[in-house]
């Protein structure tokens, strides 16, 4: 599969039907297809890009962002997308900036945080290997790495689920009553079950959201960016509903959302970039996460890795010939 939601955009970009496309990301639907298709996908800071005119799913979780084949193209597309829009009540007013401005600058001496738990708790072995190799590439470029503890992330998946259930049902309630036959059965099933979310659960979820955001902010006092896998698994088969990770069975949907959802809940920017392939040729993505409004810095790190990976690939091709 090419990643679920926004997978059409991902497949179109990967197959060179276009230079770039838009994705909508409520739980990972820019970064999941970016990882699955071997392209670049940016979920910007919440409020950075207007959502006006986009069909809502989760009022406080929805993001719009660019999907491209290169880092520079992605930054250029975000230049065109970003900006305050009074028609979006969640839009944030910021001074205009050029997101390409740090591309090409050295990352020597910069600090990359590697979370000790959550993001690395249950991974496919090939995903783990490619991420470890990516860390080594950054270290070879002079970046420092530091293991960081983020203790308040264990409940984030539950909070993300309860938030999206509550908000998605609020979005679709009236339309479901009038046009229920228009819904795909699986989508309808998820929306109907969302009605069971309780008000107190939504409140608890927002408390978890705040604690998670505080945990990220504290971490960014020590590091410039966080590095994690985008997905804990390789792209699954179309129609596959369950997958084994670390010897345990897990629903595919839950696995796909597990590592991307936290930055929807916190609104922090996160960039997925290709970092290699499995032995069977499936793309694997790496996620770079930064503080609010640090997209230009994420592109700096992404471009540095992209350049190093390109050089390594060319050397390998020369040696092979």
pLDDT number for residue 311: 66
Packing angle between helix 156-178 and helix 185-194, nearest 10 degrees?
A: 110
**Residue 59, token pair as written in the block:** 């009022």
* 270-304 residue pLDDT tens: 999 999 999 999 999 999 999 999 999 999 999 99
Domains and CATH numbers, the chain: 7-152+217-320 (3.90.1300.10)
The answer to whether 239 and 116 have CB atoms below 8 angstroms apart is no
- What is residue 68's predicted lDDT score, i.e. its pLDDT? 98
Tokens of 174: 């009236």
pLDDT of residue 194: 94
pLDDT score at 318: 54
Q: What is the pLDDT of residue 247?
A: 84
Q: What is the pLDDT of residues 244-274, one digit of tens each?
A: 988 889 999 999 999 999 999 999 999 999 9
Q: How far apart are CA 315 and CA 309, in angstroms?
A: 10
Q: State which residues of the chain have pLDDT below 70.
A: 311-321
Q: With contact defined as beta carbons under 8 Å apart, do 121 and 230 qualify?
A: no
Alpha carbon distance 304, 103 (integer Å): 8
Query: Residue 261 has what pLDDT?
Result: 95
- For the entire predicted model, the pTM comes to 0.94
Q: Quote the pLDDT of residue 150.
A: 86
Residue 237 is given by DSSP the state: P
CA separation (Å) from 98 to 30, 75, 272?
21, 8, 20
């Amino acid at each position: 599969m090419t990643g679920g939601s926004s997978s059409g955009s991902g497949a179109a970009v990967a197959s060179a039907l276009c230079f770039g496309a838009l994705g909508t990301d409520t739980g990972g639907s820019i970064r999941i297809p970016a990882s699955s298709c071997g392209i670049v996908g940016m979920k910007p800071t919440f409020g950075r890009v207007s959502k006006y005119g986009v069909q809502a799913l989760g009022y406080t979780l929805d993001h719009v962002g660019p999907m491209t084949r290169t880092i520079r193209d992605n930054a250029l597309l975000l230049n065109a997308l970003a900006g305050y829009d009074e028609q979006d009540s969640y839009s944030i007013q910021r001074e205009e900036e050029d997101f390409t401005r740090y591309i090409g600058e050295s990352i020597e001496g910069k600090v990359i945080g590697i979370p000790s738990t959550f993001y690395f708790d249950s991974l496919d072995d090939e995903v783990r290997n490619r991420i470890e190799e990516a860390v080594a590439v950054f270290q070879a470029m002079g970046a420092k790495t530091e293991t960081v503890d983020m203790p308040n992330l264990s409940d984030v998946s539950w909070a993300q689920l309860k938030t999206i259930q509550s908000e998605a049902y609020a979005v679709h309630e009236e339309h479901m009553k009038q046009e229920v036959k228009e819904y795909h059965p699986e989508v309808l099933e998820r929306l109907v079950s969302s009605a069971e979310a309780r008000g107190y659960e939504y409140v608890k979820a927002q408390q978890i959201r705040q604690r998670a955001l505080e945990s990220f902010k504290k971490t960014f006092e020590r590091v410039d960016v966080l590095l994690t896998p985008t997905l804990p698994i390789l792209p699954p088969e179309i129609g596959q509903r369950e997958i084994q990770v670390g010897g345990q069975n897990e629903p595919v949907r839950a696995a796909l959302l597990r590592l991307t959802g936290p930055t929807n809940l916190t609104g922090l920017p996160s960039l997925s970039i290709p970092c290699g392939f499995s032995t069977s040729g499936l793309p694997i993505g790496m996620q770079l996460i930064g503080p609010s409004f640090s997209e230009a810095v994420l592109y700096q790190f992404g471009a540095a890795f992209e350049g190093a990976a390109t050089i390594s690939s060319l050397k390998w091709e020369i040696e092979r010939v």
